[in-house]
């Protein structure tokens, strides 16, 4: 596929870049072609900027739902392949509507921003924090062992509860969050929908149990320990195994059926 001819020249005059430039400018980015910057480099920069914008929540600066979903999909792949422990947390600001009602939407926005920045500071750089919608946030914690999940969630809950958020001169408010979490089932190719549903169920439980608390789904114990295996085979008659091999010959009865093998491999 080597391209031997020179690539076609890009003439920026031919392109409608006004909207793209306006979007980038609005996000406080340099949207104009710089001196000495080639058209290709400039376009690449514009595209990169737009991609970044498309994944960001404008109010809080966190990842948006699109970003969250794509990270979640990728996590499922890695969990299915490696059995890595990945925790999904859904977090919801308690009684957010009453903040809006009492202090106005500007105050509501300030609370969202303060909580968002707090969440971003509570986690490791490898974690993904996103605004899932409204006053709901999501955090994906790769490589998070079940032992630590609760500690992380508890730290987040306490840190948010300790915030004093200025919403007007001489007026600070405090807020709490409820957290629900679920681990991706290890070694299993699950779906993002099901995973979110499971975390959401836990969030619902945290809410209905009085808010300002954490509920985590108990991770499934899928592996079979050496101790279990020992007991499983320890007392089994080894003659059974020998007889089985002798009776079935080199190939078990189904092995010759290629379709069965292919399907069940």
Partner 1 sequence: MNDLLTPTADSQDTAKVPLKPLGKVLAVTSGKGGVGKTFVSANLAAALVKRGYKVLVLDADLGLANLDVVLNLYPKITLHDVFTGKAKLEEAILPAPGGFSVLLAGSGMVEYSRLTTEVRNEFLRIISGLVPHYDVVLLDTGAGISDVVLFAVSLASEVLMVATPEPTSLTDAYATIKVLVGQQQRQTVRVIINQSARPGSGQAITHQLQQVLDRFVVTERPIRLIHMGDIPVDPEVRQAVMRRQLMMQTTPGCPAGLAISHIAGALEKSVIPKPT
Considering only residues 142 through 201, tell me which ones interact with partner 1, judged by CB under 8 A.
185, 187-191, 193-194, 197-198, 201
Rounded Cα–Cα distance for residues 68 and 131 (Å): 8
Q: Detail the DSSP E strand segments found in the chain.
A: 87-93, 128-133, 136-141, 165-168, 171-173, 177-183, 214-216
Task: Report DSSP letters for 211-240, one per residue.
Answer: SS-EEEPPPP--S--HHHHHHHHHTS-HHH
Q: Min. distance of Cβ 197 from partner 1 in angstroms?
A: 4
Q: Which of 69, 159, 204, 211 binds partner 1 (CB under 8 A)?
A: 204
Give whichever of 58 and 252 is closer to partner 1, judged by the CB atom. 252
Rounded Cα–Cα distance for residues 139 and 152 (Å): 11
x/- map, 89-108, partner 1, by CB under 8 A = --------------------
Active site residue 135: yes
By CB under 8 A, residue 52 contacts partner 1:
no
DSSP category for residue 53: H
DSSP category for residue 127: S
Rounded Cα–Cα distance for residues 190 and 73 (Å): 9
Give whichever of 131 and 198 is closer to partner 1, judged by the CB atom. 198
For partner 1, which stretch binds (CB under 8 A), given 23-31, 84-92, 113-121, 248-256? Answer: 248-256
Rounded Cα–Cα distance for residues 221 and 147 (Å): 13
Considering only residues 216 through 245, tell me which ones interact with partner 1, judged by CB under 8 A.
217-218, 220-225, 227-229, 231-233, 235-237, 239-241, 243-244
Q: Min. distance of Cβ 198 from partner 1 in angstroms?
A: 5
Nearest to 10 by CA among 30, 33, 34, 38: 38
Q: Min. distance of Cβ 190 from partner 1 in angstroms?
A: 5
Q: Min. distance of Cβ 178 from partner 1 in angstroms?
A: 16
Return the sign of the alpha-carbon dihedral for residues 54, 55, 57, 62.
Answer: negative
Residues at the interface with partner 1 (CB under 8 A): 185, 187-191, 193-194, 197-198, 201, 204, 217-218, 220-225, 227-229, 231-233, 235-237, 239-241, 243-244, 246-248, 252-257, 259-261, 263-265
List active site positions. Answer: 135
């Amino acid at each position: 596929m080597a391209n031997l001819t020179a690539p076609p020249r890009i003439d920026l005059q031919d392109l409608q870049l006004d909207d793209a430039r306006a979007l980038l400018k609005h996000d406080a980015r340099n949207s104009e072609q710089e001196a000495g910057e080639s058209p290709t480099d400039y376009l690449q920069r514009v595209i990169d900027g737009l991609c970044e914008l498309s994944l960001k929540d404008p109010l809080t600066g966190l990842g948006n739902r699109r970003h969250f979903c794509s990270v979640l999909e990728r996590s499922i792949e890695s969990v299915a392949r490696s059995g890595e422990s990945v925790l999904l947390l859904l977090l919801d600001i308690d009684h957010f509507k009453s903040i809006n009602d009492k202090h106005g939407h500007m105050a509501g926005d300030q609370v969202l921003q303060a909580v968002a920045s707090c969440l971003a500071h509570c986690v490791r750089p490898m974690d993904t924090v996103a605004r899932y919608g409204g006053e709901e946030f999501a955090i994906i914690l790769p490589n998070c062992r079940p032992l630590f999940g609760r500690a992380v969630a508890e730290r987040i809950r306490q840190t948010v509860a300790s915030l004093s958020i200025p919403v007007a001169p001489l007026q600070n408010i405090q807020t709490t969050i409820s957290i629900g979490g679920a681990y991706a089932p290890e070694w299993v190719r699950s779906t993002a929908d099901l995973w979110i549903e499971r975390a959401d169920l836990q969030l619902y439980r945290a809410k209905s149990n009085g808010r300002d608390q954490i509920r985590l789904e108990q991770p499934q114990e899928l592996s079979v320990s050496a101790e279990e295996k020992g007991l499983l085979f320890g007392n089994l008659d080894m003659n059974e195994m020998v007889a089985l091999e002798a009776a079935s010959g080199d190939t078990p009865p189904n092995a010759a059926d290629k379709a069965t093998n292919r399907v069940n491999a």
